[in-house]
Structure 1
């Protein structure tokens, strides 16, 4: 079994010095003095393991098959992810070639054992689920997946005992469930209350705040880590601010771009463990990583951010 050799977390300055061009960094952070602290990390409650708060989603963006231009773009994203001190890569068999592409590129970059691999089982029946999970291990070139999640709760009652067995055997380290729609929150809540979990993945953003009402507090109370999907509401947030400058007062909590404005809002909720924005552009990955450094909005600033977005 491959050992996990997570390097010391990189500092914000390392983003500029390790694997990223100065011109790119200068374009993103032209006037800011970058602090030398490490990216914010939050503990996984069930183990205490520290997890960097920014990760990477691969839905759609890593489904490039054998296309070399697409793979080159994804390779640069993985380089930017690690250069910034982030580790978590989230995928699924549902995302077609995304697992294979992520696994191949991580191997090329010699990052396989440095990444926190999160993927999903998305099948009906135990046998089909086991086959999927074994495929994921092969595609990631690892004998241990960090986090296996039941995708969109599909046949979760069948898969959960298998996940527990695999966890006991050391084939997976953490188990969880996922969904991407607030309409499924009642179902998520029932499963959270019915079974023991390490992670819950759900949608949350400044535009989709339903998770604040019950699920984020529930996960905090039960000691469950969270992965946050749809942090940009699938692009709707950028559309809402198109042509506008980031408010000057956003500098108070270190947001130098709209992406960081939206991500820092989510991170200011203490129950948000790790955010998984999807991208195929290295400059966006660098920008996303930047949200994991510096101060976060306080409660008054959060209210100001909400009011601002509602005024658009």
Structure 2
């Protein structure tokens, strides 16, 4: 497993991490807690040291599962979690839920309790709409938590470039979590170069395009009720992206699956610190981790990728 530095934070992270949204059990179809724990254990065995979760994943259940895995090796695992969506935009009176620093600190402390730890390595503002009151509240709260030693790195999870610029106006943003993949390359234009220039670490969510880039989906694929992808087969873009995946198949081989190709593409960008594909089983973890090998992509690989996906700026 290769490691990288998480921006100005100086934290060393495995370039393949573990995305813990699916194990929350409320958005990605059926999942068993025992299998989720085995998957995380296997990830750590294979050199993964970065686990990303959020308070809203399974209404805190994901964090509770992560707690079971890190309990006896807390200092060996970089734990990232997020706050801001648990309140769902507005309270019953229509006011921002996270409009004051003390509210954010309470949410942070709730995550500490669920994770069974007294500090968090990376805490992300999980709000992607730009309400000035919430933005300022998060910036103030995260600064206080860092000063207290309960937080190592402050982050924001967003694809809004202007939001990142605002959050980093004083040069205090440590990490950005953003959506980036072979099929979603819009962040290459402004966000990734900015992060590289300003020493902001980059955590890539969606490197497998929520499973699309595993190459397992077809025009006949159906997703169960309760799966965030349930409506995908009815969307026009679904067919288009299936066709793009098929055009990329010549780059796969017995030694490189479609998913591993997708992960290597993300890791090939110099601004990227860690990619966090989701996994629900040890076997999925093993497939993901195998992407951390060298060389990543050849110039011939990149040329074909450019021809197939250059329009993927969404």
- State the TM-score, normalizing by the size of structure 2: 0.75
Structure 1 segment 1-312 matched on structure 2, within 5 A: 39-63=1-25, 70-95=32-57, 96=59, 97-107=61-71, 110-122=72-84, 124=98, 125-153=100-128, 155-179=134-158, 182=159, 184-193=160-169, 195-237=171-213, 238=215, 239=217, 240=242, 247=249, 249-250=251-252, 256-308=256-308
> Kindly tell me: are residues 127 and 255 of structure 1, through their superposed partners in 2, closer, same or farther at Cα, counting changes over 3 Å?
farther
Instruction: Judge conservation of contact 1:137–1:144 (CA < 8 Å) in 2.
Output: yes
Distance 1:46 1:198 in 2: 6
> Kindly tell me: are residues 243 and 231 of structure 1, through their superposed partners in 2, closer, same or farther at Cα, counting changes over 3 Å?
closer
Superposition deviation, residue 169 in structure 1: 1.6
Distance 1:127 1:73 in 2: 36
Distance 2:43 2:123 in 1: 21
Counting matched residue pairs gives 263
Distance 1:258 1:63 in 2: 25
Distance 2:18 2:135 in 1: 24
Instruction: Judge conservation of contact 2:7–2:175 (CA < 8 Å) in 1.
Output: no
> Kindly tell me: are residues 298 and 164 of structure 1, through their superposed partners in 2, closer, same or farther at Cα, counting changes over 3 Å?
farther
Instruction: Judge conservation of contact 2:167–2:173 (CA < 8 Å) in 1.
Output: no
Distance 1:242 1:210 in 2: 16
> Kindly tell me: are residues 129 and 60 of structure 1, through their superposed partners in 2, closer, same or farther at Cα, counting changes over 3 Å?
same
Distance 1:208 1:220 in 2: 19
Q: Larger relative CO (CA 8 A, sep 6+): 1 or 2?
A: 2
For structure 2, the residue ranges without an aligned partner over 5 or more in a row are 85-96, 218-241
RMSD: 2.7
Distance 2:206 2:248 in 1: 20
Secondary structure of the 2:210 match is: coil
Instruction: Judge conservation of contact 1:268–1:298 (CA < 8 Å) in 2.
Output: no
Superposition deviation, residue 246 in structure 1: 7.5
Distance 2:303 2:166 in 1: 30
For structure 1, the residue ranges without an aligned partner over 5 or more in a row are 1-38
Secondary structure of the 2:272 match is: coil
Distance 2:250 2:64 in 1: 42
Superposition deviation, residue 217 in structure 1: 0.3
Could you tell me which residue of structure 1 aligns to residue 223 of structure 2? Answer: none
Instruction: Judge conservation of contact 2:125–2:155 (CA < 8 Å) in 1.
Output: yes
